[in-house]
C-alpha cells in the first residue's frame, strides 16, 4: 500500500506557503536543494507533478490534495498532544488559516477570533476573498475553514448556516439630490456607482431589480471594505452597504436610503470534517457570532 511520508507532505505545504523553495528552506532549516529533493521524491512516489515552479510556486490538483493531508495531519497531531497533556507547539502558537469575505472581516468576524485567541494558543492567517470564491481555498487545502456563500459542502467538509448579510442601497443626501432626484430609474443610468472590484455583483443585482441595465452607469472601484464604505460616505458614488457599516451614518443623516428591496447574501461556515477540539471550538465561536449578528434566513 502506498504511504505518503508526513515529512514530504509538510515540505510541500511549507513551499506553497512560502512561495519559493528558498523561503521553505529557511523555515525548515535545510538547504534549498534538500527541499527540491523532497519535492522530487514526493512526485516520484505519487507518479504525479505536485508543484508548478512559477513565481510564486503553486500546487497542482494533486499537490493541493497532499497539502490538505499535511494540514489535517498537523491539526490532529496538535489535538492529540494537547489531549495527552503535552505542549503541542513547544510554547509556540498553532497557525490556523481561514478564509473570509471582505465585508464579514470588516464587520463581525474579528470578535470571535479575539475570544478564541484569549482561550487557545493560536494565531490566525486570514485569506480575504469574495464569498463566492472562498470555498475554493478549502478545496485546495489552503485554509481549514471559510465563510462562504456556498451551501453545498465542499468534499471532506461540513457546513453550518450563519445567516444573511443584508445590503441596502445608500448615498449621501447631496449625491442623491444631484444625481438621483426625480425619475430614479432614469437617473441611475448616469449616476456613478462604487463597486468593490469587477467581481462585485451586488450593485448590478440591485440595478437590474430597478429595471436599469447594469452596463450603463459609470463605475468607481474601491477594493477594500472600509475604504469602500468611506467612498460612499464621502459622496464618490452610491452603493449597497451592509447595515453594520451604514446604520450610524443613516441615523445621523450622513447617508440616506435610495429605496428598493435590500439584497440578502446568505453566508455559511464550512470547515474540514475532522474530529478536532480546536477546530470545533473555532466553529462554535464563529457560527455562534454569525447567527447572533446576521439576519436570519427567510
d(CA 298, CA 289): 18
Q: Taking the CB of residue 11, how many other CB atoms lie within 10 A of it?
A: 27
Closest CA to 144 of 152, 156, 132, 133: 156
Once rounded to an integer, what is the mean pLDDT over residues 67-85?
A: 85
d(CA 153, CA 68): 16
* Alpha helix positions (H), 84-142: 102-107, 110-119, 134-139
The model's confidence at residue 73, banded by pLDDT at 50, 70 and 90, is confident
Closest CA to 96 of 119, 113, 115: 113
Closest CA to 208 of 252, 169, 256: 169
Query: pLDDT tens for residues 155-193?
Result: 889 999 999 999 999 999 999 999 998 888 889 999 999
In the chain, the N- to C-terminal Cα span, in Å, equals 50
Closest CA to 131 of 60, 215, 200: 200
Pairing of strands 219-221, 193-195: parallel
Running DSSP on this structure, what letter comes out for residue 50? -
Instruction: Specify the pLDDT at position 84.
Output: 79
pTM of the model: 0.83
Closest CA to 10 of 63, 84, 62, 79: 63
Instruction: Specify the pLDDT at position 159.
Output: 96
d(CA 217, CA 213): 8
Q: What angle do CA 232, 233, 234 make, to 5 degrees?
A: 90
d(CA 129, CA 127): 7
Answer whether residue 87 shows pLDDT above 70: no
The model's confidence at residue 297, banded by pLDDT at 50, 70 and 90, is low
Task: Give the containing element (helix H, strand E) for 148.
Answer: strand 145-148
Please state which of the ranges 16-25, 36-45, 79-88, 174-183 shows the lowest mean pLDDT.
79-88
Amino acid at each position: 500500500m502506498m504511504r505518503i511520508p508526513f515529512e514530504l507532505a509538510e515540505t510541500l505545504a511549507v513551499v506553497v506557503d512560502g512561495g519559493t523553495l528558498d523561503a521553505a528552506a529557511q523555515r525548515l532549516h535545510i538547504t534549498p536543494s534538500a527541499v527540491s529533493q523532497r519535492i522530487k521524491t514526493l512526485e516520484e512516489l505519487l507518479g504525479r507533478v505536485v508543484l508548478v515552479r512559477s513565481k510564486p510556486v503553486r500546487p497542482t490538483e494533486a499537490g493541493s490534495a497532499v497539502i490538505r493531508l499535511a494540514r489535517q495531519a498537523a491539526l490532529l497531531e496538535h489535538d492529540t498532544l494537547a489531549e495527552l497533556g503535552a505542549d503541542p507547539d513547544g510554547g509556540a502558537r498553532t497557525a490556523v488559516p481561514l478564509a473570509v469575505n471582505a465585508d464579514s472581516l470588516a464587520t463581525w468576524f474579528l470578535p470571535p477570533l479575539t475570544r478564541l485567541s484569549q482561550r487557545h494558543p493560536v494565531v490566525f492567517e486570514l485569506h480575504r476573498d469574495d464569498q463566492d470564491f472562498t470555498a475554493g481555498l478549502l478545496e485546495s487545502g489552503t485554509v481549514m475553514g471559510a465563510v462562504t456563500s456556498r451551501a453545498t459542502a465542499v468534499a471532506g467538509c461540513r457546513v453550518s448556516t450563519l445567516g444573511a448579510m443584508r445590503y441596502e442601497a445608500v448615498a449621501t443626501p447631496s449625491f442623491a439630490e444631484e444625481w438621483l432626484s426625480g425619475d430614479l430609474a432614469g437617473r441611475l443610468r448616469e449616476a456613478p456607482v462604487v463597486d468593490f472590484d469587477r467581481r462585485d455583483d451586488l450593485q448590478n443585482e440591485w440595478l437590474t431589480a430597478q429595471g436599469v441595465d447594469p452596463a450603463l452607469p459609470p463605475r468607481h472601484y474601491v477594493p477594500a471594505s472600509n475604504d469602500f464604505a468611506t467612498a460612499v460616505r464621502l459622496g464618490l458614488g452610491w452603493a449597497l452597504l451592509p447595515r453594520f457599516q451604514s446604520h450610524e451614518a443613516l441615523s445621523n443623516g450622513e447617508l440616506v436610503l435610495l429605496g428598493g428591496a435590500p439584497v440578502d447574501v446568505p453566508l455559511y461556515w464550512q470547515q474540514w470534517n475532522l474530529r478536532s477540539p480546536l477546530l470545533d471550538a473555532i466553529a462554535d465561536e464563529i457560527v455562534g457570532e454569525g447567527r447572533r449578528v446576521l439576519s436570519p434566513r427567510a
